[in-house]
Amino acid sequence: MQVSTSLYNPTIAIDHLSSSVWQKVNRLQLQKMLSEFSHELLLSPILRHQTDPWGHYEVISSDKRIIYSFLARVLSLDHWDIELKSITKTVEDRVVSLDATAFIIEFSDQLGLEQENIATYLEEVISCLYGSAYMHSHNQQAVDELIHADYQDIEHAMMAGHPCFVANSARIGYDAIDYQNYAPEAAEPLSLIWLAGHHSHTEFTSISPLSYRQVLEQELDAETYFSFDKMLHDKSLDPTDYIYFPVHPWQWFNKLTHIFAPDIANNKLICLGYTADKYLPQQSVRTLFNISKPTRFYVKSALSILNMGFMRGLSPYFMRTTPAINKWVHDIVVNDTYLQQKKFTILREVATVGYTHQYFEDAFTVDTPYKKMLSSLWRESPFQFIAPGQQLMTMAALLHIDTHGNAFLPALVKASGLTINTWLRHYLDCYLSPLLHCYYYHDMRFMPHGENLILVLENHIPVKAIMKDIGEEVAVISPHKILPDQVERIRIPVPEELKILSIFTQAFDCFFRFINHILVVHANYPEEQFWEAVADCILTYQREHPELEEKYQQYDLFMSEIPKTCLNRLQLKNNKKMIDGSNPFKHQQFAGMLRNPLAAYKATLI
């Protein structure tokens, strides 16, 4: 892939940074900050007067000079619905323009930001604003059109990022040209660079009976495969001593060429060049979808940029066990009658390559991003799991609001011809029912947020859910479940009283809270009806599986209160590595309790 020289025109990088757009995205970002920081009790808005259900609130800086005021109502799960146009800022009684970056500085003490973290966090916030301005300038597609769009068009129209995190879409490491080439919202097709890694440093692993050769024959045409072999022969090297694999072009130019220079000079790592297939980056940034041949695998490649609390590398050690983990989870899913009845599907990560840099292996005995710079994996395409007439879309679309202020979900429901109640019943049956079964029956939890899940729809109605990102996100929460040795790393230690958070946090607080908000605001749908639909789904599952009654009591989804898990507190505390993947609850942050909206529907199973 050749980078267009036109991108080097310095004004192209800033064309979207107009004053009007900047004011718009700052107001939107402040709305999110006030809402999520209040949700996590980092801010304590003061109620000045109430006109049910709306109240006039203020948050005041520690020195009392700065006041932000706004109209808000507090929905279920302490979700702050803030009227966007009502937000005002006064400095010593003088109204001034809104500035989301300044807000972080003004309230840094209340947010608990330490001096060593504030610079990186500010950079992430500004990066989010830059990206938001780009999207609001370039993405003008209305939701009424988007509901009919294809999978990749919907994927690249998403503008919100993770709904809970304030700093959720930064790509620290990309320059302005990189952003236009590689950011999902820029939607520029790109080619991948292929490398040959010597067996002494490189390990290929796959799901049996898939072989290395079969992967290459699936991903490369015969002419390209032959040209790679010839390239090595021309260097007097034996192709059978090497493993071929793709990497993200940014990683090659910005990290691998110099950090792996010793291996390149000594023919341990050979650059084979670009291949012809074009890919588009997904919302997860380092995952790439083949638009030239959609039935070919996704490619997920290590990408050493900072994004939402992590350097987005890939561990070569994790790569060794990822196929085995995917096979184990897949076997459970395809052999479970209930999951098959619900048509629940996972996209297997079928093959991986991990390359180890010996200098860093020798230098470090601890975990470090330097050990995660060169790995890739191949994941199944969702197109092999759909029938003619079915539509794919990222579940993140259900939270999408277009640049005109219109919400995707009500438009989708309207196009289906169903009532909201009926549409939700179909959706919850596809999404929540399989999660409940995996949790209660198999002691297994996923990370089922919007970007990690693909919905399959017929006539705009959900008919099944496809889960992805298995190797890094699946976990077993039981200390007693027998696991194969290669799968053991997905077992995580969880305090007994926190095990239920695998459902409460990931599904309820991190997704349903926002669906409820969109339906209330954009469809005038009573939130009690939404939570009743969720409760009905859970009770239906429990009645169908009475043999798990003891677990329902032990891990009660209808308890009156839920521990409030705080993701922004995590990121504010350590914005370069939020959690330890092997023990995600070790550094977890909590703040008080949430009233459980399902408690009103608690029922005794008959």
- What integer pLDDT is reported at residue 188 of this predicted model? 83
How is the chain split into domains, by residue range?
19-157, 189-379, 396-595
Q: Are 538 and 556 in contact (CB under 8 A)?
A: no
* Burial bucket for residue 247 (CB in 10 Å: 0-12, 13-18, 19+): buried
The SS3 of residue 117 is: helix
Task: Answer whether residue 580 shows pLDDT above 70.
Answer: no
Confidence at 573, pLDDT banded by 50, 70, 90: confident
- Residue 187's pLDDT is what? 72
pLDDT bin (cut points 50, 70, 90) of residue 606 is very low
Average pLDDT over residues 193-207: 98
Give the confidence band of 223 by pLDDT, cuts at 50, 70, 90: very high
Query: Which two tokens mark 230?
Result: 């010839």
> 323, 205 in Cβ contact below 8 A?
yes
Least confident among 241-250, 309-318, 330-339, 400-409: 309-318
Instruction: For residues 425-451, give the mean pLDDT.
Output: 96
Decide if 344 contacts 333 (C-beta within 8 A): yes
**Which of 164, 149, 154 minimizes the C-alpha distance to 184?**
154
> Which residues, other chains included, contact 391 with Cβ-Cβ below 8 Å and sequence gap of 6+?
150, 151, 456, 457, 458, 460
d(C-alpha 522, C-alpha 468), whole Å: 29
Tell me how far apart the alpha carbons of residues 134 and 77 are, in angstroms, rounded to a whole number: 32
CB neighbour class for 50 (10 Å; exposed up to 12, middle 13-18, buried from 19):
exposed
The per-residue pLDDT for 598 is: 96
* Residue 5: pLDDT over 60: no
d(CA 568, CA 554): 29
**What would the two tokens of residue 117 be?**
């973290």
Element (H, E) at 594: strand 590-595
Sign (positive/negative) of CA torsion 56, 518, 162, 587?
Answer: positive
What CATH number is given for 396-595 in this structure? 1.10.510.40
Residues in the chain: 606
d(CA 540, CA 536): 6
In this predicted structure, the answer to whether residue 10 has a pLDDT above a threshold of 90 is: no
Q: Which amino acid is at 587?
A: H
Q: How far apart are CA 252 and CA 44, in angstroms?
A: 46
**Which position has the token pair 């060794």?**
320
Quick one: pLDDT at residue 346? Answer: 97
Fold (CATH) for 19-157: TATA-Binding Protein (3.30.310)
Quote the CA–CA distance of 171 and 163 in Å, as a whole number: 17
Burial 301-316 (b: 16+ CB within 10 A, else e): bbbbbbbbbbbbbbbb
Question: What gap in Å lies between CA 159 and CA 136, rounded to an integer?
Answer: 8
Which element (helix H / strand E) includes 352? strand 349-355
Q: What is the pLDDT of residues 326-339, one digit of tens each?
A: 999 999 999 999 99
Q: Please name the helix (run of DSSP H) or strand (run of DSSP E) that holds residue 376, with its range, or none.
A: strand 375-379
Burial environment of residue 54 by CB neighbours within 10 A (0 to 12, 13 to 18, 19 or more): middle
Tell me the per-residue pLDDT of 69-113, one tens digit each, with 9 for 90 and over.
999 999 999 999 999 999 999 999 999 999 999 999 999 999 999
Residue 595: phi and psi, rounded to 5, are: -70, 130
Residue-level pLDDT at 587:
66
Quick one: pLDDT at residue 7? 59
Confidence at 590, pLDDT banded by 50, 70, 90: confident
Q: How far apart are CA 120 and CA 576, in angstroms?
A: 8
Task: Using the CB atoms, write b or e for 9-30: b if 16+ within 10 Å.
Answer: eeeebeebeeeebbebbbbbbb
Going by pLDDT thresholds of 50, 70 and 90, the confidence category of residue 515 is: very high
Grouping H, G, I as helix, E, B as strand and the rest as coil, residue 21 is helix
Give yes or no for a cis peptide into 53 (omega within 30° of 0): yes
Q: Is the pLDDT of residue 553 over 50?
A: yes
Residue 113 near residue 106 (C-beta atoms within 8 A): no
So what's the pLDDT on residue 581? 56
- pLDDT tens digit sequence for 397-436: 999 999 999 999 999 999 999 999 999 999 999 999 999 9
Question: Per-residue pLDDT for 520 more than 60?
Answer: yes
Q: Compare 497 and 262 and report the one with higher pLDDT.
A: 262
Please state whether the predicted TM-score (pTM) of the whole model is above 0.75.
yes
Q: What is the pLDDT of residue 366?
A: 83
For residues 224 and 276, the answer to whether their CB atoms sit within 8 Å is yes
What would the DSSP string read from start to end of 265-318? HTTSEEEEEE-S--EEE-TTSSEEEESSSTTSPEEEE----EETTEE----HHH
What pairing do the DSSP bridges indicate for beta strands 461-467 and 345-346? parallel
Yes or no: say if 251 and 302 are a contact pair by the CB < 8 Å rule. yes
Is the Cβ–Cβ distance between 423 and 429 less than 8 Å?
no
